[in-house]
Chains A and B, each alone.
Chain A
């Protein structure tokens, strides 16, 4: 469980608040989607949870451990973090070296390390690339390697900061599939930051941020129905809501609640007959 209590934070060289009295509790094995426009504070709160930011007010507790200088390394042991730009998170000069980096840091004995590296690469489907140099991989492949590096540490929590934003649609789809499987298999808590509302559909909860504050915290379907909130916070409406909006203008009666794509098609088909 992650508990964030009344966090306020400003970057040292800035006078506006990147986080403003933010509180949120995340239960084990939840899939959280974190959304909000550019500069709303998504990356900052993710970094706070991983102990990568110093000098904030408030409290963070991860699995019962309060985050402070003594516990930060133990807490990081439980969190895997994948960043946006795959090129800037590679440490190793080959795929397997990179996946091993976190294990080396934790002084894992070599035989176990070799096994865990292999396993992690298998999970993300990159086994055959083990000895390749990262510069010879596509963006999607690099992100899968970064994911393997995080998963090799057997974390309880996985944080992804726009980890799919530099990928093509196929690469994104593959990442999401892998994440779904991994969540099942390793009973992970996932916090996924994204700009793409369609990626939030598989989450248990969507947290919507603006100006360093939480403006909505709801199940995806519930949030999608609140079209005004979505628009006011600079996000794009989900497809079926866009369509509903257009139909409503023409004076057609529409159900209030959110419909996903298939339900929308059903509804249209019923009406058309």
Chain B
């Protein structure tokens, strides 16, 4: 019933950002990610960082959550940054060993790469913390609608996506239950040799697979009994509404773009 993973998960509170249309949130976050790659000096990075911070504050979510959202990725970021530092040349050389060197250019590049990662993760975290997964699915459906013309089964894909999302907590809960049952029968997931640990996954995977299969069968029966036949002869209960705030958000993003390109000229 409850998931252990909470970081990067929707936080049900109310804020300006929460109330935005998921389509504008999805498109604007993707747009922002592209925008980050256009920053080329410390002023433009600082500017983007400031806008990101402002957005985060607007979500009213505790800063700790953003940190926790980034933490699992920190290792990859640091590795990339280190590689960037030791392999790029140019400027003053501070340290040198074989093909490795630390130069002023390298350091600067490292900081930029770090900033890029950081900003992208922050913005995607803003999206997932403020938008229920279902609404993201809706937004995808709405944005993919033009693809209906080339016979992409957009409605089916969207329904599949939203059912999958709806079943994630159920299956995680199920996994927890099965793990508990097998731990109670003496399976140890946290110690022993690698082979032993890999083996200990079997008693989880088989029951989980069977349970998922049974659930899917039950769900298919339930859907059929409730009259689901697929296709587009269906009306929609949930409709997305574009509001003033969404227009303002877009204008805001345009302003950020303008600001960024001005700062690039410095």
In the complex, per-residue mask of B208-248: 1 if CB is within 8 Å of any chain A CB, else 0 = 00000011001101111111110001111111000000000
Q: Is B2 an interface residue (CB 8 A)?
A: yes
Choose the segment among A102-110, A211-219, A235-243 that binds chain B (4+ C-beta atoms closer than 8 Å): A102-110
Chain A min CB distance to B19 (Å): 14
Given contacts A73-B227, A87-B170, A91-B163, contact A109 B235 (CB under 8 A): yes
* Smallest CB gap from A79: residue in B: B225
Q: Of B132, B222, B229, which is within 8 A of A73 by CB?
A: B229
Distance in Å: Cβ of B23 to nearest Cβ of chain A: 17
Contact B228 A89 (CB under 8 A): no
| A108 / chain B contacts, CB cutoff of 8 Å | 235
The answer to whether A105 and B134 touch (CB under 8 A), given A87-B170, A88-B222, is no
Looking at the assembled complex, report how far the CB atom of A97 sits from the nearest CB atom of chain B, in whole angstroms.
Answer: 6
Check B233 against A110 for contact (C-beta < 8 Å). no
Known: A93-B132, A109-B235. A83 touches B226 (CB 8 A): no
Nearest residue (CB) in B for A83 is B222
Query: Is B153 positioned at the interface, with any CB of A under 8 Å from its CB?
Result: no
Grouping DSSP codes into helix (H, G, I), strand (E, B) and loop, the B interface class, with mixed when no group exceeds half, is: helix
Please list the residues of chain B having a beta carbon within 8 angstroms of any beta carbon in chain A: 1-2, 132-134, 162-163, 165-166, 169-170, 173, 214-215, 218-219, 221-229, 233-239
Which residue on B lies nearest to A88, using beta carbons?
B218
Q: Inside 8 A of B166's CB, which chain A residues have their CB?
A: 90-93, 134
Least CB separation from A105: chain B residue: B227
Q: List 29 A-B contacts (CB under 8 A).
A: A52-B221, A52-B224, A73-B227, A77-B227, A83-B222, A85-B218, A88-B214, A88-B218, A90-B166, A91-B166, A91-B219, A91-B223, A93-B134, A93-B166, A94-B134, A97-B134, A97-B237, A100-B238, A101-B226, A101-B237, A102-B227, A104-B234, A105-B229, A107-B234, A108-B235, A110-B235, A133-B169, A135-B173, A153-B227
Known: A88-B215, A89-B219. A97 touches B238 (CB 8 A): yes
Q: List residues of A whose CB falls within 8 A of some B CB.
A: 47, 50, 52, 73, 76-77, 79, 81, 83, 85, 87-94, 96-97, 100-110, 113-114, 117, 133-136, 149-150, 153
8 Å CB contact of A83 from B1, B134, B163, B221? B221
**B234 pairs with A76, CB closer than 8 A:** no
B132 contacts across to A, CB distance below 8 A: 93, 133
